[in-house]
């Protein structure tokens, strides 16, 4: 896929099993730098596992993952995870205020986040400054996801992994998050790899897409492949007949 683009993340014959159960089978392909690539496919296809391999939360049993042309094994785990950020579906928070959560990535490095930087982050993700001291348990689903994304941005990641971050949001929040991701991609040139079940979202927001089924990548290309898939299984999936 996309030979014209420099890869930010590259998979080379990657296999991953969990308790002798193959989750990913011989994955090869690239995620272009500075672009939005969506990962679509039925539940249990191995999408989340693939995402976690990108920032070293999991390691492949065989094959190689490269981040910016460097093998993932050559990165220190801490360095890798700051370079490749992830926002999870459940948007987990540490108990306390929004500010406490925003300052967490720097606290882990023994540094602190200034109030000015925190305000800028909130503005970046479209949240009001007044939310700074609010307890995270009092946030709406959409606000929580925005805080989660803002927190990931504190590390200034070059690659941002998104795991179904809009799946439980109402339509307004969903649109706001979509706009936010496009803005991050354009403003910082961040490479985005986004798992979504929303095929319309993949078509509208993604530059490229990977369709995964049963641990394999069955079709890749520009997002409009979803309008007319070459693969029969993908065609059935797109029509809602599989998965």
Partner 1 sequence: MSYLTLSITLIFVVIPLLLSKTLNLGLERDTIIATLRSIVQLLAVGYVLKFVFDSESLIYIFLMVALMVVAATHNAQKKGAAIRGIIWKVAVTLIFVEVLTQGILLGFNITPATAQYIIPISGMVVGNSMVLSILFLNRFTAEVESHQDETELILSLGGTPKQAIHTQLISSIKASMIPTIESQKTVGLVQLPGMMSGQIIAGADPIQAVQFQLLIMFLLLTTAAVTSVMLGFLSYPTLFNQRMQLMKTDSN
Give residues in contact with partner 1 (CB under 8 A): 16, 18, 23, 43-44, 46-49, 52, 55-59, 77-79, 81-82, 85-86, 88, 90, 92-94, 104-105, 108-109, 151-152, 155
Let me know: does 41 contact 243? Beta carbons within 8 Å.
yes
Task: Name the minimum Å distance from CB 228 to partner 1.
Answer: 28
Closer CB to partner 1, 6 or 156, in the complex? 156
Listed in order, strand segments (DSSP E) in the chain are: 7-18, 21-32, 36-40, 62-67, 70-71, 84-87, 159-163, 191-195, 208-213, 216-222
> Which residues contact residue 97 at a Cβ distance below 8 angstroms, ignoring those fewer than 6 apart?
132, 133, 134, 135, 136
3-state secondary structure 110-122: CCCCCHHHHHHHH
Closer CB to partner 1, 16 or 208, in the complex? 16
142: three-class secondary structure by DSSP: helix
Task: Name the minimum Å distance from CB 49 to partner 1.
Answer: 5
Closer CB to partner 1, 163 or 223, in the complex? 163
Phi-psi region of 221 (alpha: psi -120 to 50; beta: other; left: phi over 0): left
| Residue 63 φ/ψ, nearest 5 degrees | 90, 175
Task: Name the minimum Å distance from CB 174 to partner 1.
Answer: 22
Phi-psi region of 25 (alpha: psi -120 to 50; beta: other; left: phi over 0): beta
Task: Name the minimum Å distance from CB 105 to partner 1.
Answer: 5
Task: Name the minimum Å distance from CB 172 to partner 1.
Answer: 26
Task: Name the minimum Å distance from CB 229 to partner 1.
Answer: 23
Closer CB to partner 1, 94 or 128, in the complex? 94
Burial code (b: 16+ CB inside 10 Å, e: under 16) for 156-182 equals: ebbbbbbbbbbeebeeebbebbbebbe
Closer CB to partner 1, 52 or 236, in the complex? 52
Closer CB to partner 1, 156 or 183, in the complex? 156
Task: Name the minimum Å distance from CB 144 to partner 1.
Answer: 13
Closer CB to partner 1, 2 or 17, in the complex? 17
């Amino acid at each position: 896929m996309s030979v014209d683009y420099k890869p930010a993340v590259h998979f080379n014959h990657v296999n991953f099993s969990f308790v002798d159960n193959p989750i990913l089978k011989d994955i090869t392909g690239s995620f272009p730098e500075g672009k939005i690539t969506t990962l679509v496919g039925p539940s249990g296809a191995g999408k989340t596992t693939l995402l976690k391999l990108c920032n070293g939360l999991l390691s492949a049993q065989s094959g190689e993952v490269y981040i910016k042309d460097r093998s993932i094994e050559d990165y220190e785990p801490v360095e890798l995870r700051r370079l490749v950020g992830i926002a999870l579906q459940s948007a987990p928070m540490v108990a306390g205020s929004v500010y406490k959560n925003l300052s967490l990535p720097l606290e882990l490095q023994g540094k602190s986040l200034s109030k000015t930087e925190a305000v800028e982050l909130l503005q970046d993700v479209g949240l009001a400054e007044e939310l700074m001291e609010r307890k995270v348990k009092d946030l709406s689903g959409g606000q929580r996801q925005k805080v989660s994304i803002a927190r990931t941005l504190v590390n200034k990641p070059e690659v941002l992994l998104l795991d179904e971050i809009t799946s439980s949001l109402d339509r307004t929040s969903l649109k706001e998050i979509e706009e936010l991701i496009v803005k991050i991609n354009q403003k910082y040139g961040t490479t985005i790899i986004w798992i979504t079940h929303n095929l319309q979202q993949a078509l509208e927001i993604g530059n490229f897409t990977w369709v995964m089924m049963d641990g394999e990548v069955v079709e890749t290309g520009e997002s409009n492949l979803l309008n007319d898939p070459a693969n029969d299984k993908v065609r059935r999936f797109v029509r809602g007949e599989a998965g």
